[in-house]
């Protein structure tokens, strides 16, 4: 049985990604980590975790109202939501270890179930199973961004909040949340790749993660080798894609002059 060129290409890319990830994982285990640029927004989050353990005020965490996978969700919103879930994982682990109370919310039923598992596992791994409270993981709406935003506003007014982390899939509904948080002087750490939400985020809080920074946040919040390897693999793949784009552009400029064959997709 022969494989089509498309299938062979996909297999080759998959094997390359696995190999690069394995190499970076080995590199991290050997202690060879590159110097990373700082993300000041995450310093606000770390300080809030420390204060929350002392004051007893909750740290709010939410990946937004985006969907995962099929349905009305897009690839972009799924990727953002997954990035938000990874951030929620690392925050939950740290909160379970230092005793900082957390309040987790979402606007999608599937994401809600994932968050419940994430938070429960974080407390189990920390040996603090008795501190896990399912009521602290709340589903505010389902596939309705503005209903979700209204729910977050209600949470802001219901109890004192040390800080709010809103990293994931957000759109125009963020303005309702961000403005409410700014009026209540709640430190907000926010981030998305959505070009509609980013200007509003930057207007309401200086602690904003822009674009690809939300995908790197997990590695900044944890020293776990797997998280570090993922970040290094993302950087490697990004570099490869950039080089391919530049190469294709240069080839397109040289092709007419030197009579090179035209590259066409099948």
**What pLDDT digit, counting tens, does each position of 125-135 carry?**
999 999 999 99
DSSP-assigned states of every residue in 149-187: HHHHHHHHHHS-EEEEEEEEE--TTHHHHHHHHHHTT--
**What pLDDT digit, counting tens, does each position of 5-38 carry?**
788 888 888 898 888 889 888 888 888 777 778 8
pLDDT at 169 over 70: yes
Nearest-5° Cα angle at 208, 119 to 140: 40
Q: What is the pLDDT of residue 35?
A: 77
Tokens 């035209």 sit on residue = 262
Q: How high does pLDDT run on average in the chain?
A: 89
Q: Mean pLDDT, to the nearest integer, of 47-68?
A: 93
Q: What is the pLDDT of residue 265?
A: 54
Q: What is the pLDDT of residue 209?
A: 97
Q: What is the pLDDT of residue 207?
A: 96
Q: What is the pLDDT of residue 74?
A: 45
* Rounded CA separation 32/52 (Å): 33
**What pLDDT digit, counting tens, does each position of 97-154 carry?**
999 999 999 999 999 999 999 999 999 999 999 999 999 999 999 989 999 999 999 9
From first CA to last CA, the distance across the chain in angstroms is: 21
pLDDT band at 264 (very low <50, low <70, confident <90, very high): low
CATH of domain 40-223: 3.40.50
Q: Mean pLDDT, to the nearest integer, of 86-92?
A: 96
Pairing of strands 102-106, 137-139: parallel
Q: Where are the domains of the chain?
A: 40-223
């Amino acid at each position: 049985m022969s494989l089509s060129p498309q299938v062979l290409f996909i297999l080759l890319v998959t094997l390359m990604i696995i190999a690069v990830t394995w190499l970076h994982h080995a590199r991290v285990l050997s202690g060879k980590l590159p110097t990373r640029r700082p993300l000041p927004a995450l310093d606000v989050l770390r300080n809030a975790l420390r204060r929350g353990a002392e004051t007893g005020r909750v740290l709010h965490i939410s990946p937004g109202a985006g969907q995962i996978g099929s349905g009305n969700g897009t690839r972009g919103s799924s990727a953002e939501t997954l990035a938000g879930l990874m951030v929620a994982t690392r925050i939950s682990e740290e909160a379970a270890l230092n005793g900082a109370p957390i309040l987790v919310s979402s606007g999608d039923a599937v994401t809600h179930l994932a968050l419940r598992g994430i938070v429960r596992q974080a407390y189990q791994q920390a040996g603090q199973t008795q501190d896990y409270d399912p009521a602290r993981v709340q589903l505010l709406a389902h596939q309705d961004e503005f209903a979700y935003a209204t729910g977050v506003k209600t949470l802001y007014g219901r109890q004192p909040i040390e800080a709010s982390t809103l990293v994931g899939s957000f759109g125009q509904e963020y303005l309702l949340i961000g403005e409410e948080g700014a009026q209540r002087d709640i430190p907000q750490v926010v981030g998305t790749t959505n070009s509609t939400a980013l200007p509003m985020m930057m207007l309401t809080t200086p602690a904003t993660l822009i674009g690809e920074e939300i995908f790197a946040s997990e590695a900044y919040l944890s020293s776990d080798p797997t998280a570090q390897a993922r970040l290094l693999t993302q950087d490697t793949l990004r570099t490869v894609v950039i080089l391919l784009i530049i190469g294709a552009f240069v080839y397109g400029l040289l092709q007419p002059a030197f009579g090179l064959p035209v590259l066409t997709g099948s």
